[in-house]
Amino acid sequence: MRTEKELILATKPFAKEIRWKSWWHLFSTGVFLGGLYFGIFWPSTPLWLRITFSVLAGLTIARMFIIYHDHQHKAILQNSKFADAVMTLWGLFILAPTSIWQRSHDHHHKHNSKLYTSSIGSYPIVTKEKYKSMTRSERAVYNFTRHPLTIAFGYLFVFIYGMCVRSFLNNREKHWDSLVALVLHVVMGFCIAWFMGAAAFLLGFILPALIALGLGAYLFYAQHNFPTATFADKDGWSYVNAALGSSSYMRMNQVMHWFTGNIGYHHIHHLNARIPFYRLPEVYEAIPELQQAKTTSLMPGEIIRCLRLKVWDPDLGRMIGRRDLAL
């Protein structure tokens, strides 16, 4: 069994991109997404096919999000001004502009599963005793943030409000690009509705965003909020334990692994964020310790179990739901 340092060192050979693969994944995904949008906006496309294309577009946007996410981690396409420009524009398009995304997501990686500091760039988590000591209004905000509908409508609450509105209001000078993302989003939606009609607006704008950003919000939630996840205070926290004990391996079929850019190998990603997304399965197969990960899935029962979790119980050493709080 490797030590923590040895385990991190074992991942380093994989933290090198294969340049042509990075470009291939970017361009092939972009062309596929463009073809889907062409089918959605083409007036002669049957309605059932437009709906199908709309759903697939939402899933493909989620995949492009992971490519953007890897670029922000400096795992792929570094030292390319063209890639930098494309990814900056993509961050605006998906309501996750680079300034707030880098700040919040970097903090998440440095403090993943650390009690009292993990709510920046993450869903908030408090202990059972802390929850009981909260005022009614504090509990309401906490429960709303972790509510299944808040997560499902991540498009509105996580991205439009959290990533754009709140970040801009908190620091207008630093997060001016959040306002740009909002304005661009509104103008784009208005133009689609005005020039192409209600169906194009719903199927080419609203539904893909709801699917992509709702799926993204849930994956981000469930891969750190699952029944066997562990949390620690500052003294009991370590980077490797946080990666392996508080980040899951989400079992999916190969189609969903493609659409989600292998983000299901989340424990490996947290162990070494410089590993390109297309190499994560390779790492999983090469290092036996990583095959013993804590697992989740996209099965309905598993989703319900994850969404029921509300607070951390230090005495039980696990997360519990509201039924277990006995307020």
Q: What is the pLDDT of residues 106-140, one digit of tens each?
A: 888 888 888 766 555 678 888 999 999 999 999 99
pLDDT digits (tens, 9 = 90+) for 143-191: 999 999 999 999 999 999 999 999 999 999 999 999 999 999 999 999 9
Closest CA to 52 of 65, 62, 33, 39: 39
CB 232 within 8 A of CB 319: no
**What's at 168, amino acid-wise?**
F
Tell me the CA end-to-end span of the chain in Å, nearest whole number: 43
The full set of domain ranges for the chain reads 4-308
DSSP states of 285-319 as a string?
A: HH-GGGGG--EEESSHHHHHHHHHEEEEETTTTEE
Radius of gyration of the chain, Cα coordinates, nearest whole angstrom: 20
Reported pTM: 0.94
Distance, CA of 285 to CA of 80 (rounded, Å): 30
The 10s digit of each residue's pLDDT in 258-288 is: 999 999 999 999 999 999 999 999 999 999 9
With pLDDT > 70 as the criterion, what percentage of the chain qualifies?
98
Measured over the CA atoms of residue 9, residue 234, residue 310 and residue 162, the dihedral's sign is: negative
pLDDT-based confidence at residue 325 (cuts at 50, 70, 90): confident
